[in-house]
Chains A and B, each alone.
Chain A
Amino acid sequence: MQIKNHKDFNTGLLFIFFGMSTTALVRSYPIGTAAKMGPGYFPFILGLMLTLLGLVILLKSLSKVGKVRRKGSTHLRPAIFVLSSIVLFGLLLLPLGLLFSTLLLVFISSMASDEFKIKVAILNAFVLLIIVLVIFIYLLQFQIPVFPAFLGSRA
């Protein structure tokens, strides 16, 4: 036995994981009867179906012989920087205000690119900050704190 298609193999695993965890979680909700379905009925069926599908995909990705499809190359830099810049924005928006969290988001997410240049990123951050302040705070009047909370000022 050999994994013929890694992507399908992992998809199968993922679906089985989601399916099994659904059916496990659903146990705590009343299932009800077919005529009077409880909150657990529909997700339970879906969870079973997903697990089953996952199994089929998994089995189909295996083969005794046959050519092995190359694994896709993983290049983690973009994913790491993009995702962490969003999480950081969420963490800092309320305590530090829009001002600093914008600068940080733009700067950190810029590092996701292979063509990252410090000067361009900093310039971009300040230009975007001005645009954001004009559009969202001045024109659209969104209720977002602009300055850090410790300075005691609000939007």
Chain B
Amino acid sequence: MELLSNLALGFQIVISPQNLLYCFLGTVIGTLIGVLPGIGPVQTIAILLPTTFALPPVSALIMLAGIYYGAQYGGSTTSILVNVPGEASSVVTCLDGYQMALRGRAGAALTISALGSFVAGCFATLLLALLALPLSELAFKFGPAEYFSLMVFGLIGSIVFASGSPIKAIGMIILGLLLGVVGTDVTSGTQRFSFGIPELADGIGFVPLAMGLFGISEIIKSLERKEKREILKTKIFGFWLKKKDVKEVAPAVARGTLTGSFLGILPGGGGILSSFVSYMLEKKVSRNPETFGKGNICGVASPESANNAGAQTSFIPLLTLGIPTNVVMAMMAGAMMIHGIQPGPRVISSNPELFWGVIVSMWVGNLMLVILNLPLIGIWVKLLTVPYRVLYPAILLFCCIGIYSVNNNIFDIWLTAILGFLGYLFVKLECEPAPLILGFVLGPMMEENLRRGMLLSRGDPSVFFTRPLSLAFLLMALAMLIVIALPAIRRKREDAFHEEGEKG
């Protein structure tokens, strides 16, 4: 079977000592940084991105993927132990996880979170491997019109589930598209918006943008908030699940995995949506819904599985169609481009070792997480006691050195400061930076496909509406816009994010 031989190729790549080491390093460092309060996967990846540049592309992506789910797991740990979600997608884990911890069952909560994630990871990896070939073959049939419309669909989709005002999110997308345009125009060689600054000829760097918008502004934001943290004083024990727990939890994990896998593929999906939806679902199907929010183990198992499944299936659109559907995937796309790999259907055929290596590494990385985290949990807990005032200068320092080292360029440091200020402004104005990053990554591709599409149709824009697939994408985008605009749904959406906003 082709699938098996592909997976075997992947294993061959991952099992090499070098790649195993980077996978290991990624998961450990990812968890380590993800555990630190106020730093989620996006910040973690932004901060650690430069450290992977010296590696060969396969190792770099394996390490980045490891950092991603490591950071996510670290976020769950803080949710359970300190009631501080490292990121939006572990907000839900706080609800029952922290309650379990208060009832002396922190160990069990951590175990089920790791095991649930592992099961979900296995399933999602398999799904990714299964869907990759057919989807990328489909993508080869896409012309520029289809690609353009698919990107419109992806960008609009990303705002449906983003918190905050949709109209501002659209503005942020456009701003991102514009920032992506800065630099030399590929077709004509014209310098656009570079203001005579030679460093801007290559465009705005992905690393300064990601670090400025997510790293620096996040630090300033956290400093403005008075911190209050309640750290669990009791010792954590009882990692083993009881037989009764396993029986109770198994179907919850299965439900979470399926929900998460499905939602992860959709634009705008991924961790946050998956965990929210699966928690709601779990509460609905539960025989005793009143125990949710009071330490129900299913309330931890299901969203944690969904979270991880969604995180991994969101690689599907990126690796097969070349469309990042959420911020983390935009980061991955940025990292791939820095290594000279254009995400898209060609990756499978032109870099099979990279493609299958990364997929298998996700499975291996998840296994490592399970094995590693249970014994290391003591260290993670200690890390939580590091006060923020010592921590953030360290993060800043690593950011600055990392940014400089990408191109050995001072200008990038200043650019980061400027973008950090812009990011801070966005925080103040309640504008989500995530759509901007997506727009930034997709901007150049979108322009190119628009140009090629219009060139092929000799300037007739109807080409986007007459080709069936293209029309389908545009109609779906339109449907989503209408859905956001409907008053009833808008209210519900605001409620859902309101809750999140208070916690996060």
Chain B 397-410 interface 0/1 with A at a Cβ cutoff of 8 Å (1 = within): 11011001100101
Residue from A15, A72, A136 within 8 A of B171 (CB atoms): A15
Q: Are A116 and B178 in contact (CB under 8 A)?
A: no
Residue B431 at the A interface, CB < 8 A? yes
Q: Are B424 and A79 in contact (CB under 8 A)?
A: yes
Chain B 449-479 interface 0/1 with A at a Cβ cutoff of 8 Å (1 = within): 0110011011111000000000000000000
Q: Are A124 and B390 in contact (CB under 8 A)?
A: yes
- Quick one: which of A78-125 are within 8 Å of B by CB? 78-79, 82-83, 85-87, 89-90, 93-94, 98, 102, 105-106, 109-110, 112-117, 120-121, 124-125
With A39-B192, A83-B417, A105-B393 known as contacts, the answer to whether A46 contacts B401 (CB < 8 A) is no
Interface of A is mostly: helix
Q: How far is the CA of A77 from the CA of B400 in the complex (A)?
A: 20
Give the distance to chain A from B233, nearest Cβ to Cβ, in Å.
Answer: 22
Q: How many chain B residues have a CB neighbour from A under 8 Å? A: 62
Q: Are A36 and B455 in contact (CB under 8 A)?
A: yes
Residue from A50, A75, A105 within 8 A of B178 (CB atoms): A50
A124 surroundings in chain B (CB, below 8 A): 390, 393-394
B404 surroundings in chain A (CB, below 8 A): 93, 144
Q: Are A72 and B428 in contact (CB under 8 A)?
A: yes
Q: How far is the CA of A14 from the CA of B51 in the complex (A)?
A: 34
Give the distance to chain B from A101, nearest Cβ to Cβ, in Å.
Answer: 8
Residue from B425, B450, B461 within 8 A of A14 (CB atoms): B425
Residue from B167, B170, B405 within 8 A of A142 (CB atoms): B405
Residue B389 at the A interface, CB < 8 A? yes
Q: Are A49 and B400 in contact (CB under 8 A)?
A: no
B424 surroundings in chain A (CB, below 8 A): 79, 83
Residue from B168, B192, B414 within 8 A of A29 (CB atoms): B192
With A53-B171, A102-B397, A113-B389 known as contacts, the answer to whether A37 contacts B450 (CB < 8 A) is yes
Q: Are B410 and A93 in contact (CB under 8 A)?
A: yes
Q: How far is the CA of A47 from the CA of B447 in the complex (A)?
A: 14
Interface of B is mostly: helix
Q: How far is the CA of A115 from the CA of B461 in the complex (A)?
A: 59
Give the distance to chain A from B395, nearest Cβ to Cβ, in Å.
Answer: 9
Chain A 44-62 interface 0/1 with B at a Cβ cutoff of 8 Å (1 = within): 0011011001101100100
Q: Are B410 and A110 in contact (CB under 8 A)?
A: no
With A56-B167, A90-B410 known as contacts, the answer to whether A34 contacts B459 (CB < 8 A) is yes
- Quick one: which of B354-396 are within 8 Å of A by CB? 387-390, 392-394, 396
- Quick one: which of A20-79 are within 8 Å of B by CB? 22, 25, 29-30, 33-39, 41-43, 46-47, 49-50, 53-54, 56-57, 60, 72, 74-75, 77-79
Q: Are B192 and A78 in contact (CB under 8 A)?
A: no
Q: Are B223 and A113 in contact (CB under 8 A)?
A: yes
With A46-B178, A142-B405, A144-B404 known as contacts, the answer to whether A11 contacts B220 (CB < 8 A) is no
With A43-B181, A109-B393, A113-B392 known as contacts, the answer to whether A87 contacts B417 (CB < 8 A) is yes
With A29-B190, A128-B393 known as contacts, the answer to whether A8 contacts B178 (CB < 8 A) is no
Q: Are B181 and A116 in contact (CB under 8 A)?
A: no
Q: Are B389 and A110 in contact (CB under 8 A)?
A: yes
A contact residues, range: 35 or more
A120 surroundings in chain B (CB, below 8 A): 389-390
Residue B413 at the A interface, CB < 8 A? yes
B387 surroundings in chain A (CB, below 8 A): 115
Q: How far is the CA of A49 from the CA of B90 in the complex (A)?
A: 35
Residue from A10, A79, A93, A102 within 8 A of B421 (CB atoms): A79
Q: Are B447 and A30 in contact (CB under 8 A)?
A: no
With A25-B193, A42-B447 known as contacts, the answer to whether A54 contacts B171 (CB < 8 A) is yes
A98 surroundings in chain B (CB, below 8 A): 401
Q: Are B428 and A7 in contact (CB under 8 A)?
A: yes
Residue from A25, A43, A53, A106 within 8 A of B167 (CB atoms): A53
Q: Are B393 and A14 in contact (CB under 8 A)?
A: no
B413 surroundings in chain A (CB, below 8 A): 86-87, 89-90, 93
With A25-B193, A36-B455, A83-B216 known as contacts, the answer to whether A11 contacts B390 (CB < 8 A) is no
Query: Nearest chain-B residue to A89 (Cβ)?
Result: B400
- Quick one: which of A115-148 are within 8 Å of B by CB? 115-117, 120-121, 124-125, 128, 131-132, 136, 140, 142-144
A/B interface sample: 6 pairs, CB < 8 A: A57-B168, A93-B410, A106-B397, A117-B389, A142-B405, A143-B408
Interface residues of B (CB under 8 A from A): 51, 54, 165, 167-168, 170-171, 174-175, 177-178, 181, 185, 187-188, 190, 192-193, 216, 219-220, 223-224, 226, 387-390, 392-394, 396-398, 400-401, 404-405, 408, 410, 413-414, 416-417, 420-421, 424-425, 428-431, 447, 450-451, 454-455, 457-461
Across the A-B interface, the 6 shortest Cβ-Cβ residue pairs? A35-B459, A90-B413, A78-B223, A34-B459, A39-B185, A39-B190
